[in-house]
Chains A and B, each alone.
Chain A
Amino acid sequence: MTSTSSRWAFGSARWLWLLGCIAVIAVLPLIFQDSYWRGVMTICAINIMLALGLDFIFGYAGQLSLGHSAFSGIGAYTSTVLVTALGVNFWIAALCGIGAGGLAGVLLSVFAVRLKGHYLAIASLGFAVITYQILVNWISVTQGPLGIYGIPSPPPLTIPGVVTISFADQQNFFYLVAGAAVLSYLMLYNLTRSPIGDALIAVREDEISAASLGIRGTKWKVVAFGIGCAIAGLAGCFYASFIGTLVPDAFFILESFMLLAMVVIGGRGNLWGAVLGAVLLTVVPELLRGIGDFRLITYGLALTLVALFLPGGLSGVLIQFARRFGGGARGALSAKGPSHA
Chain B
Amino acid sequence: MLDLLPIFAQQIINGLVLGSIYVLATLGLTLIFGVLGQINFAHADFMTLGAFAAYFVARATGGNYLIAIVAALLVGALLGSIINGTIFSPLRNADETRPLVATIGVSVLLENTTLAFLGPVPYAFDSPYSSQVIRMAGLFFTAQNLLVVVIAVLAVGSLYAFMKLTFVGKALRALAQDREAAGLMGINQKQLIALTFVIASAFAGLAGAMLGPILVLTPFAGASVIVKAFAIVIIGGFGNIEGTIVAGLLIGLIESFTTQFLSPGMSDIVVFGLLLLTLAFRPTGLIAERREENV
User: Chain A residues in contact with chain B, CB under 8 A?
Assistant: 64, 66, 111-112, 114-115, 117-119, 121-123, 125-127, 129-130, 133-134, 136-137, 208, 253-254, 257, 260-261, 264, 293-294, 296-297, 299-308, 311, 339-341
User: Out of A129, A296, A340, which one reaches B268, CB within 8 Å?
Assistant: A129
Q: Is the CB of A111 within 8 A of B276?
A: yes
CB distance from B218 to the nearest CB of A (A): 14
* B238 / chain A contacts, CB cutoff of 8 Å: 118-119
Pair count A-B, CB < 8 A: 133
Q: Is the CB of B108 within 8 A of A341?
A: no
* A126 / chain B contacts, CB cutoff of 8 Å: 227, 230-231, 272, 275-276, 279
User: Out of A137, A254, A302, which one reaches B266, CB within 8 Å?
Assistant: A137
Chain A residue with the shortest CB-CB distance to B264 = A137
CB distance from B228 to the nearest CB of A (A): 9
Q: Is the CB of A123 within 8 A of B276?
A: yes
Q: Is the CB of B95 within 8 A of A261?
A: no
Chain B residue with the shortest CB-CB distance to A254 = B108
Q: Is the CB of B227 within 8 A of A117?
A: no
Provide a sorted-by-A list of 9 A–B residue pairs whose CB atoms are within 8 angstroms: A111-B279, A118-B39, A121-B100, A122-B231, A137-B266, A300-B108, A306-B105, A307-B101, A308-B86
Q: Is the CB of A125 within 8 A of B112?
A: no
Say yes or no: A117-B96 contact (C-beta < 8 A), given A133-B269, A137-B266, A300-B108: yes
Chain B residue with the shortest CB-CB distance to A138 = B265
A219 to B33 alpha-carbon distance, docked (Å): 28
Contact with A along B213-227 (1 / 0, CB 8 A): 000000000000001
Say yes or no: A130-B269 contact (C-beta < 8 A), given A208-B293, A299-B108: yes
Q: Is the CB of B269 within 8 A of A137?
A: yes
Chain A residues touching B, majority SS: helix
CB distance from A69 to the nearest CB of B (A): 14
Q: Is the CB of A119 within 8 A of B102?
A: no
Chain A residue with the shortest CB-CB distance to B280 = A111
B118 CB within 8 Å of chain A: no
Q: Is the CB of A297 within 8 A of B116?
A: yes
Name B86-108 residues within 8 Å CB distance of A.
86-87, 90-91, 93-108
| Residues of chain B at interface, number, CB under 8 A | 51
A297 to B91 alpha-carbon distance, docked (Å): 22
Q: Is the CB of B94 within 8 A of A341?
A: yes
A311 to B86 alpha-carbon distance, docked (Å): 16
Say yes or no: A119-B90 contact (C-beta < 8 A), given A297-B116, A339-B95: no
Q: Which 10 A-B pairs have CB atoms at the shortest separation, nearest pair first? A: A300-B109, A303-B105, A304-B105, A300-B108, A307-B102, A296-B112, A137-B265, A307-B101, A126-B272, A130-B272
* B111 / chain A contacts, CB cutoff of 8 Å: 296, 300
B283 CB within 8 Å of chain A: yes
Chain A residue with the shortest CB-CB distance to B98 = A307
B124 CB within 8 Å of chain A: no
Q: Is the CB of A297 within 8 A of B112?
A: yes
Q: Is the CB of A293 within 8 A of B115?
A: yes
Contact with A along B150-183 (1 / 0, CB 8 A): 0000000000000000000000000000000000
A301 to B86 alpha-carbon distance, docked (Å): 13
CB distance from B81 to the nearest CB of A (A): 17
A123 to B235 alpha-carbon distance, docked (Å): 11
User: Out of B86, B100, B265, which one reaches A118, CB within 8 Å?
Assistant: B100
User: Out of A121, A136, A300, which one reaches B106, CB within 8 Å?
Assistant: A300
Q: Is the CB of A119 within 8 A of B279?
A: yes
B137 CB within 8 Å of chain A: no
CB distance from A15 to the nearest CB of B (A): 34
Say yes or no: A257-B95 contact (C-beta < 8 A), given A114-B283, A126-B230: no
Say yes or no: A133-B268 contact (C-beta < 8 A), given A64-B100, A111-B280: yes
